[in-house]
Amino acid sequence: MTLYALLLIAHAAFANDPSVPAKPVEGSVLAMGIERLAATDVAGTRDEAKRVKAALAGAEDAHLVFGKRGFELSRPGAGAIPLSDSLGRALDSMRQYLDLGQAPSPTSDELRDAFLSRAGVDAVRAVFDKMIDDAIDLDGRRLVLEVGGEATMEPSPRLRYIDDFARPVLHEIMAARRDPAALRAIYDQHPEEMKTIDDAGTLKSVLGVLDRMKARGDAQDKRDALLALATRTIAENSASSFTLEPAAQLRAVCAQDWSGRYVGRWHTHPPHDEPAGWGGGSEPSGPDMQNAVDDGQFLTIAFQPDGFIVYDASVLGETKTIDLNKMKKIVYRSDDWRRHFQERHDALRLAGKS
């Protein structure tokens, strides 16, 4: 389980001025947002953000407005700065995200009612369905990968994704898993992602060993078996970890509209593909609990063959204790769920055999 520190924008610190005109962005939010967008190209607007930052010169009284000409920054006593639609939307989304902090987070009771509502169950089911769609096919066995993001309640739970930055490269690795030269090329092209995917250096050292085996004339099938073991190992390690990094979080914040009440971060413990059906996801790990202690709510949503368990970690954040027994469990079970996922499992097994 690897988790990097989040961007962690302190919600309450920014949103406190309800009196400004339509679509306002308080000066400090604006300054922070422009700063972030000028530092990374998450919204594809880095150059423009740099120009706007220079033009604003730290003005704390600017507001983001949406007028006849689209988004612009208006400043009392100075000319408006027109913005591209991309930059305007990114800043507006950031404002919406920070505004979530004005409403209190849901209580544990509200959270339980929301997750056990019809819409809540559907939201969780959609996440697990998508995870199974995106699973890695290990010669017939599906390796289902952890996902996560940030959740809001509006009033049903909305599980918004933050993309794990290394996942696209993991899929590339698995597509090239029988081709040492292609694997080496992926390694060279994506050193940052590979540090996360192959943190123990397993695949890297095996690629070196394969060269030596080839040089001394070892059989092809022996080399293939070693490579298969190495790629399977790193895939299995990656499947049970989900990496949140600040740029990915910022990208997710800027890419969508935000409303409702802020719940916190969430991640899943995926189903395991077993011969007869899906095995359940595990309980929250030590690092999961540490995460909640350090940075507040971190939901663990564990798949079960007949439902799911949402582990609500809010108490850990409040009491700063790592204790599985202190987590509140929201348990959902139904025959309908069991039937649905069993059918998916059986269909995938049949497809794997044909």
Interacting residues toward Zn ion by CB under 5 A: 285, 288
Closer Cβ to Zn ion, 97 or 266, answer by number = 266
Tell me how long the chain is.
Answer: 354
Least distance CB 307 / Zn ion (angstroms): 18
Closer Cβ to Zn ion, 100 or 147, answer by number = 147
Question: What does 250-307 look like in DSSP terms, one character per residue?
Answer: HHHHHTS---SEEEEEEEEE--EEETTEEEPPPPPPHHHHHHHHHHS-EEEEEEETTE
What pairs with residue 273 in β-bridges? 278
Closer Cβ to Zn ion, 73 or 135, answer by number = 135
Least distance CB 213 / Zn ion (angstroms): 37
Least distance CB 289 / Zn ion (angstroms): 9
* Three-class SS of 49-103: HHHHHHHHCCCCCCEEEEECCEEEEEECCEEEEECCHHHHHHHHHHHHHHHHHHC
Closer Cβ to Zn ion, 84 or 240, answer by number = 240
Least distance CB 300 / Zn ion (angstroms): 5
Least distance CB 284 / Zn ion (angstroms): 6
The DSSP symbol for 144 reads P
Closer Cβ to Zn ion, 258 or 298, answer by number = 298
Residues 6+ apart with CB under 8 A from 127: 147, 159, 268, 301
How far apart are the C-alpha atoms of 102 and 320, rounded to whole Å?
24
